Each structure stands twice: as structure tokens, then as C-alpha cells.
Amino acid sequence: MMDWTDRHCRYFHRLLTRHTRLYTEMVTTGALLHGDVPRHLDFNAEEHPVALQLGGSEPADLAACARLAQQWGYDEVNLNCGCPSERVQRGSFGACLMAEPALVAECVKAMRDAVSLPVTVKHRIGIDKTESYDFVRDFVGTVALAGCEVFIVHARNAWLKGISPKENRELPPLRYEFVHRLKRDFPALTIVLNGGVKTDEQIAEQLLHVDGVMLGREAYHHPWLMVGWDERFFGAEPALREREDIEAAMARYMAAVVARGEPWSHVSRHMIGLRNGLLGARRWRQVWSDHRLKAETPAEVSRLAQDSTR
């Protein structure tokens, strides 16, 4: 999610779950080919497994960016064919690419020829208000022939005109049955469902029909949701169990960020939801958001925040 799932956010989320795959913000090919590559691609070793999500529609440019992803050590390259924003459409990528499955296939093939990393695609079930399963089935079938084996499917159409990106996450109706049917029609592919899932029980229900589930804003705003995933869905030992342990680890991380010359507030903004639902959560958030404390050490701010909840 652009401006949300940066490297600081992903470090925080990795403290909550060791095994869930993390995705970067969408990075455009232009930003990588003509901008500050380290700023866009540097990440913490603790983030693995982590996928780089790319926005673009020129096969050669995407291939060059996939090579950068491999050089930087990412575990996957993901092509965004689901973002409906007008700015992204003006760049001729995102959800509007679903109207050109042959081009998406060409992009996937170019990336697969360039790197040994898995190349995956995130997309919608359709575009605008025509809701036809055949449309998404043919899109997946065409792109799969180019070698894509993993499809992350937001179970809503993308309406390309007249509504905002936020409304595009809410107004088009969810069609989970379309995603389930994709798995039945393409049993050899990995089909991951995205959209509207908010609880562990809903995740478990969807996993009866598909291979994986992606959560975005729900996980960001209610991060403690992730703390039980390793045990429940991966059969592994859980990550840190106590919120205080997570906060202490983040304070240490923030201290290292400050030592590199970056304000700790660039990190703390991502963990504001850590105590959601607990007594004193509002006061705790207020302390971590108080700009008057910006000169204090993260450890001191953490102490003040925890004291405020007592």
C-alpha cells in the first residue's frame, strides 16, 4: 500500500509474524530506472520473505526492474494489475492492464526471462461494471501461459471512472465465488484471495477454497491480528506474544533509525494501532503522536506511553 507498507512498517509487521509474506508499496518502473534506487529498494534482512510490487507496462522496463529486485535480494516480484487510481491509469498500468491480457503476459514473460525469482500478478476480478467470470478466467489463462503461477485476486471489479480509490475498495461488490472458481478451473495455479477479509475465522474459511489470503488495511490498522498467524496457519512457534515486547523491540529499532539521521516518528506512525481495543489505547497513541516529544529517545517515549495507560 503506497505510503504505508514501507520498510519500517514491514519491520514492525515481521515482529508480529515470522512466516506471513510481506509486500512492498507499489514502486513504479520509472522511479527505479530514473530515481534513487536504494531509497526504493533497501530493506531490512528481517523482512524475508518479502516481495517487491512493481507498477509498469513496458516489458523491457519491468525486466530491468526485476533484475534490480533480484540483485537486492527480494523473494518475489509482483506486477500490480489492480490499482484503479487515475494517476496510475495515466501511466497505463494498474487495473487498466486487465483490458490487455496479452500485454500483461508479455510483461510477465520478460520478467521471467530476466530473473529466477517467482513473478506473480495481483489483479481484480474485472474492470468497470461488467461482471463476467469469463473475463477474469481468460485474463488468468492468458497470463498463466506466460509462466505466471501465482495470482493474487482482489475479489472486486475496479471501476476506472467516477469513484475514488477508497470507494473502489468498498463500492464494487465482493464476488468471492469468482476467486473460488478460478481455483477450481486452474488447480495447478496458486490462487490468493484479497478483499474484505478481517478475522482469523474468515481467513480459515477462505483457505478451504483457495491457497492463500492477503490482508491489507485491516492488518495495518489492527496489527495485533497478525500475532497468532504463525501458530494457526503455519504450525510454527508464534512470534513475540506481548505487546510490551513488540514495543520494546520497536524502540530499539527506532533508536537505530535515529542514529542514521531519520526521525523516529517515521517509524512510530506504523505501530499506532498496536494497542487498539485495550484500556488506555487512546492515551498511548497520543503520546507516540506528540510532536513535542520528538527530541526524546524512543525508549523514553515508550516509557511515557506505557505510563499513560496505567
Question: Which residues are the active-site residues?
Answer: 83
Length of the chain: 310
Distance separating the N- and C-terminal Cα atoms of the chain: 34
Contact 119, 79 (CB under 8 A): yes
CB-CB contact of 82 with 124 (8 Å): yes
Sign of CA dihedral 65, 52, 132, 144: positive
DSSP structure class, residue 20: S
DSSP string of 230-280, one letter each residue: HHHHH-S--S---HHHHHHHHHHHHHHHHHTT--THHHHGGGTTTTTTSTT
Beta carbons within 8 Å of 68's beta carbon, 6+ residues apart = 32, 37, 41
Instruction: Tell me the CA distances in angstroms from 20 to 47, 140, 191, 230, one per residue in order.
Output: 10, 24, 16, 7
Conformational region of residue 277, where left means phi above 0, alpha means psi within -120 to 50, and beta covers everything else: left
Give the whole-angstrom CA distance, residue 149 versus residue 190: 6
